Amino acid sequence: MHDLLGDGECTETAGRTALETLMGRLATAAGVEASVLRLHILKSTAVNAFVLPGGHIVVMDGLIQAAEEPDDLAGVLAHEMAHIAHRHTVRQMVRHMGLGLIVDTATGGMGGEIGRLLLTLSYSRDDEREADRGGGGKS
């Protein structure tokens, strides 16, 4: 489990600079202001990337190692930027927080934590399709 979560953030300068440059170019196409994007590269064998509120893009080192071509990584970054452009993360958080409040109210506060554990921050299939089509501007 420890390896899946990572062992800290990668600090290798040349690789980080190359990814930040790539992100800057992709941001324009995705309709995202490049200055709001923050790149985090985690030391992990997991082949994954995700976004957090506030324009944070988290890329696992395992994804970078698994990419056979630079375009592979560019495609993943563009997909994650589309989630940012369409505010999928924020919408999911609001949706889940709202459901958590309903569970708290219905159970007198006793089932809220269980309810929140059951409600993951996964994107809907529509959100994933929208991100696959690309940023294309904000909705």
Q: What is the pLDDT of residues 93-108, one digit of tens each?
A: 656 566 666 566 666 6
Residue type, position 6, single letter? G
- CB-based contacts of 46, cutoff 8 Å, min separation 6: 3, 4, 6, 60, 62, 63
Gap between the Cα atoms of 41 and 28, Å rounded: 21
Residue keyed to tokens 């919408």: 91
Tokens of 34: 């490049």
Is residue 42's pLDDT more than 50? yes
Is residue 66's pLDDT more than 90? yes
% of the chain at pLDDT higher than 70: 65
Tokens of 100: 């958590």
Gap between the Cα atoms of 69 and 104, Å rounded: 47
Q: Which of 54-58, 60-64, 78-82, 93-97 has the highest average model confidence (pLDDT)? A: 60-64
Domain locations along the chain: 2-90+118-133
Which backbone phi and psi does 36 adopt, to 5 degrees?
-90, -10
Predicted pLDDT at 65: 92
Q: What is the CATH number that goes with domain 2-90+118-133?
A: 3.30.2010.10
Is residue 3's pLDDT more than 60? no
DSSP structural state of residue 69: S
Predicted pLDDT at 67: 92
Least Cα distance to 59 among 46, 75, 70 occurs for 46
